Structure 1
Amino acid sequence: MTETDDRSSFDSGDIASPRRRPPGLRALKRSCSTETVGAGATGVLFSATGPVAVILGAASVGGLTSTQTASWIFGVFVLNGVLTLVVSWVYRMPLAFFWTIPGTVLVGQSLTNLAWPEVVGAYVVTGVLIVALGSTGLVAAVMRLLPVPIVMAMVAGAFLSFGTELVRSVTADVSIAGTMVVAWVIVSSSARWRPRIPPVLVSLLAGLSALVITDGFSPDAASGLPMVGLPEFVVPVFTWQACGQLVIPLAITVIAVQNGQGAAVLRAAGHRPPITVITVLSGVWSVLVAPLGAVSTCLAGPTNALLTAVGRREHQYIAGMVCGALAVVVGLSAPALVRGLVSVPHTFVAALAGLAMLEALRGAFVAAFGEPADQAESARPALAPLVTLLVTVSGVQVAGLGAPFWALICGVVTALVLDGTAGKRRQPD
C-alpha cells in the first residue's frame, strides 16, 4: 500500500475500523527501530515527570492520601497504557491516550469543597457523556455553543496558578528551582536539541542533580509510604453538586482541548486519526479508570507530538506501542514514584509542574485572546474571554457550583449580549 493509500485508510468522522489488519510479528520487527523505540520512551518520560507533578499538586490541594494519589497514577498509566498499546497496533499509527491535564487542575480546585467519592462519581458521568456525544455525532453541535476563546480562557485561568507557583518557587529556592529554569531555557532555545529532548525532562535531571549537590532530599518524609501496593478502589457517589461543577468542564477539556490538540498534532504528522473512535474510547476508558480515582482519559497532544517527531510515518505506530507498554510499567511502580516525589521539596515539584505547563499556558492565552484575521479590524476586542478568565481565577462558588462552570456560563452570556460573537468563530477541525 502506498503512503497515500495508507493516509486514506481511516475515517476521521464516523466510527471507523482500520482497512488493514494489525501488523504481525514480522511487520513489527521490520517497523521497529532505535528511533521509534526512543520516541516511545521519551513520550513516557515526559508524561511521568511534569504531568505527574500536576497530579501531585492537585492531590495535595485536595488532601488526598499517598495511597489515593498512587492509585490515581496507577489508573492513568496502566489502563491508558494498555489502551495506547492496543489502539496504536490496531490502527497502525501512534495514538497515545493519557489524562486531561486541564481536568486535573479543575479536580484539584474542586476537592476543596467536594468529597473524593463525589469527584469519582463525576468522572463516571463525564465518561458516559463523552460516549454519548461521540457516538451520536453531537460533539460539533455542542462545541458550536462554546466558542474556542471562551473555552481556552477558562483553561488559561485554571492553569494560571502553575505559572505563579513557578515564579514563587524560584524566589523561594533559587538553587533548585532556578537551576531547573536555566536548564529549561537552554534546551528550549536550542534548535538542535528541543525537537529531540523534552525541555521539562532536562529540567527534571537538572533539578535532581541540584538536590544531590545541596542534599535537598528528605527521605524521612516518605519513610511511611510503601514502595509497592495495589490500587485503592473508590465507590462513586453521585451528587448534583459534583456533577454540575465538574462534568461539563471535564468533558470540554477532553473533547475540545485535549482530543482536539492531539488530533491536530497527528494530522500535522500526516496521520488521519479516527476522531469518533477516539472520542468514544476516551469516554469508555474514563468510566473504567474512574473507580481508581483517575481523571478522564483523552488523546495526549504533547506525547503524540514526541511520538511523531522522528522516524518514517508508517513506522511511528511502534513508538505508540512502546509508549503504552512502558506506561504500564510506570503505573505498576506508582507507589514508588509517589514516594520519590514526596521526598523532594515543594519548590522542586512546583517548578517541574510550572515548566511542564508553561507552553500549555501560553497556548491557552493565545487561543483565548489572539484576534482572528476576520476580526483584526474590529473596533473593540471581544470581552467574553476576559470575563471567563476573571471568573475562573476568582474561585467563586455559587449554588454549590465552582468557578469553571460559572466562567463558561458568564463567557457565553457576555459573548451573546455584549460581543455578539458566540458560535460565530470557527471551531477547530
Structure 2
Amino acid sequence: MRRLIESGNGFHNLKKEFKCESRNIFAALTSMVFVLAGAIPMLSSVAASAGMTSAQAASFVMCSMAVGGLISIFASIYYRTPFYFAGSLTAIVVLKPMFDQFTLPEMVGGFIAAGVALFLVGYTGMIGWISRYLPLPVILGMVAGVFMSYGLDIVRSIASDPLSGALIAGAFVAFPLVTKKVPPHIIALAVGIACAVFLHSGEADGSAGSYGLSLPVFTGPDFTSNVFLTVSLPLVIMAVADVFKGYGVLKANGCDLSLNSVTVLSGLGSILAAFGLGHTISLAGPVMAILAGEDAGRRERRFAGAVIYCGGVLVVCVLSGILIPFIMQLPGTIIDLICGIAMTGLLVSSLQGAFGTGRFQMGALAAFLIGLSKVSILGIGAPVWAIVFGWIVTLCMENGQWRQMIARGRSEKKETGPAADQAVMD
C-alpha cells in the first residue's frame, strides 16, 4: 500500500538535535517581514475587495497561514528540513475577481475541491508526470504574467499619491545603502504606516469593524460545477507551481524530499484551511529561501529556524483580529504599493525562471502574455489558458527542446529515481 508521506527522521532525538543558533533566529526574524509586509497586506486587500467582515477577514488570514504554520512545524521536525507551508501568494492574485463571481460558500467549495485535487496529485504520483511533460519555464511564465499586475500597481500608486509613493518607494530603494542587516521591506512597511497616520489620518471611515483576538469563522461549502473550473483548477495550478519553486529552493540548498509528500501535505492543509475561508496551502519559496539558505546557519540546524519562525506566524495569526481591521483602514494606494514591493522578489524570480534559462522561451512568453491579459474564456481564468496555450506553443515551436526534456527525464528516472525530483532543477 502506498505511504501517505515519505518516512523521515521522525521525532526521535529531537531534544538533542534541536539546537538553535543566532543565525537561525535572524533568519526567522527576516522571514517574518514577508508576513508583516507581504502576506497580511495582500490577504487584507483581497478580503476588503470581497466585502468580508472583520471576523471573516481575520479568519481568511488566520486559516491561510496558521494551518500552514502547523504543518510546517510538523514537517520541519519530522524531516529535519526547513519547511514553510502557507496560503499561496500566487493564488491571491487570481482570488479578487473570483470573489466577485461567487458567494463565500461557493468559494469554500472551490477551496476544498482544490485541496482534494492537490492531495490526489501527490498521492497518486501525478506530480511526477506533470514535471516530466510540462516545462517549468511555461509555468513560471504564467506566474510572472499574473504577478505583473502587482508590479504595475507600484507605478500606479506613486502616480496617484506622489508624496506617499515617493517616501515609501524611496525608503525601499535607498535603505540598503545605509545597512543591509535590516530588510528594506520592513522599512517600506514602517514608512507606509507613518504615511497613513500623518498624511491620510482623516481618510479612515471606521468601517473595518471591531478589534479583537482572531478565531476561525466556519463557513459551510457549496459545490457547483462552474466553481471547479473557475476557482479550483487555477488554484491547483498555482499551488503546483509553488511546490516546484519551493522544492527547487530545498534542492539548491542540499535538501531532498519526495515531491509527492510535499504535495500531499499541501492538499491536506488546503482542505482543513478551507472551512475557515483559507485558500490553497503550498510551499512559500521566498521564505524558504531565507530559512534554508547558507546565511541561516549550519545545514543540520536550519530546521530550528523554521520552527521558531512558524511559532511566530502562529502568534501573528492569533493577533490577526487586531492587525487586519487596522490594515484594512490603510489607504488603498499605500496597500497596493506595499503589496507590490513585497512581490518584487517573487516577480524577479519568476521572470528569471521563465526566460533566464534560454529554453522554452516562446512557450513561456505565450504563458506570460496570456497571464498578464487577465482574459477569461468560457468562465475559465487566464492562469489556466496561459498554461494550456503556453504548452501548445512549446509543442509546436520548441518541440525539439520538449523531446529532449522528456528523454532526459526518462534517463534520470532510471538512474536516480523519480524524474519529478530532477525536473524541478531544469
Instruction: Normalising by structure 2, report the TM-score.
Output: 0.86
Match for residue 66 of structure 1 among 54, 57, 61? 54
8 Å Cα contact 2:244-2:424 kept in structure 1:
yes
Partner of 1:33: 21
Partner of 1:288: 272
Match for residue 259 of structure 2 among 275, 283, 293? 275
8 Å Cα contact 1:76-1:295 kept in structure 2:
yes
Deviates more, 1:15-24 or 1:148-157: 15-24
Provide the rounded CA distance (Å) in 2 between the counterparts of 1:230 and 1:14. Answer: 30
Partner of 1:7: none
Distance 1:14 1:227, change over 3 A: closer
SS at structure 2 position matched to 1:292:
coil
Residue type of the partner of 1:404?
P
Q: How far is 1:337 from its partner?
A: 1.1
Partner of 1:201: 186
> What are the equivalent positions in structure 2 for 1:170-181 lying under 5 Å apart?
170-181=158-169
Provide the rounded CA distance (Å) in 1 between the counterparts of 2:227 and 2:255. Answer: 37
Provide the rounded CA distance (Å) in 2 between the counterparts of 1:111 and 1:144. Answer: 34
Partner of 1:348: 334
Distance 1:408 1:189, change over 3 A: farther
Distance 1:371 1:189, change over 3 A: farther
Q: Is the counterpart of residue 303 in structure 1 residue 287 in structure 2? A: yes
Partner of 1:428: 424
Q: Is the counterpart of residue 16 in structure 1 residue 6 in structure 2? A: yes
Partner of 1:386: 365
Provide the rounded CA distance (Å) in 1 between the counterparts of 2:297 and 2:356. Answer: 34
Q: How far is 1:388 from its partner?
A: 2.7
Match for residue 171 of structure 2 among 179, 183, 208? 183
Provide the rounded CA distance (Å) in 1 between the counterparts of 2:257 and 2:175. Answer: 30
Provide the rounded CA distance (Å) in 2 between the counterparts of 1:239 and 1:221. Answer: 35
Distance 1:351 1:395, change over 3 A: same
Deviations 1:328-350 (A, max 9, x none): 11111111111110222112111
**Structure 2, unaligned stretches of length 5 or more?**
406-422
SS at structure 2 position matched to 1:298:
strand
RMSD across aligned positions (CA):
2.6
Provide the rounded CA distance (Å) in 1 between the counterparts of 2:122 and 2:402. Answer: 20
Provide the rounded CA distance (Å) in 1 between the counterparts of 2:266 and 2:319. Answer: 24
SS at structure 1 position matched to 2:255:
coil
Partner of 1:334: 320
Percent identity of paired positions between Structure 1 and Structure 2: 27
Provide the rounded CA distance (Å) in 2 between the counterparts of 1:143 and 1:24. Answer: 34
8 Å Cα contact 1:216-1:344 kept in structure 2:
no
> What are the equivalent positions in structure 2 for 1:381-420 lying under 5 Å apart?
382-420=361-399
Deviates more, 1:320-329 or 1:109-118: 109-118
Distance 1:80 1:20, change over 3 A: closer
Provide the rounded CA distance (Å) in 1 between the counterparts of 2:41 and 2:52. Answer: 14
> What are the equivalent positions in structure 2 for 1:34-113 lying under 5 Å apart?
34-113=22-101
Provide the rounded CA distance (Å) in 2 between the counterparts of 1:288 and 1:163. Answer: 32
Q: How far is 1:26 from its partner?
A: 5.0
Deviations 1:248-283 (A, max 9, x none): 32222222x212222222233332244332111111
8 Å Cα contact 1:265-1:301 kept in structure 2:
yes
Provide the rounded CA distance (Å) in 2 between the counterparts of 1:226 and 1:351. Answer: 25
Structure 1 or 2: larger helix share? Answer: 2
Aligned length: 404
8 Å Cα contact 2:54-2:209 kept in structure 1:
no
Partner of 1:237: 222
8 Å Cα contact 2:208-2:328 kept in structure 1:
no
Distance 1:322 1:23, change over 3 A: farther
8 Å Cα contact 1:217-1:345 kept in structure 2:
no
Residue type of the partner of 1:34?
S
Q: How far is 1:85 from its partner?
A: 1.8
Q: How far is 1:365 from its partner?
A: 2.5
Match for residue 116 of structure 1 among 88, 104, 113? 104
Q: Is the counterpart of residue 153 in structure 1 residue 137 in structure 2? A: no
Q: How far is 1:321 from its partner?
A: 0.9
SS at structure 2 position matched to 1:221:
coil
Distance 1:200 1:387, change over 3 A: same
Partner of 2:303: 317
8 Å Cα contact 1:14-1:274 kept in structure 2:
no
Q: How far is 1:15 from its partner?
A: 4.0
Deviations 1:160-202 (A, max 9, x none): 2111111111122233222221122124567x61xx4332122
SS at structure 1 position matched to 2:227:
helix
Deviations 1:118-141 (A, max 9, x none): 222121111111111212221121
Q: How far is 1:422 from its partner?
A: 8.1
Residue type of the partner of 1:231?
P
Residue type of the partner of 2:120?
A
- Which segments of structure 1 move beyond 6 Å, counting only runs of 4 or more? none
Distance 1:224 1:103, change over 3 A: closer
Deviates more, 1:51-60 or 1:120-129: 51-60
SS at structure 1 position matched to 2:86:
strand
Provide the rounded CA distance (Å) in 1 between the counterparts of 2:365 and 2:244. Answer: 22
8 Å Cα contact 1:22-1:91 kept in structure 2:
no
Provide the rounded CA distance (Å) in 1 between the counterparts of 2:404 and 2:140. Answer: 13
Distance 1:143 1:245, change over 3 A: farther
Residue type of the partner of 1:67?
A
8 Å Cα contact 1:85-1:323 kept in structure 2:
no
8 Å Cα contact 1:147-1:425 kept in structure 2:
no
Deviates more, 1:280-289 or 1:152-161: 152-161
SS at structure 1 position matched to 2:211:
coil
Q: How far is 1:71 from its partner?
A: 0.8
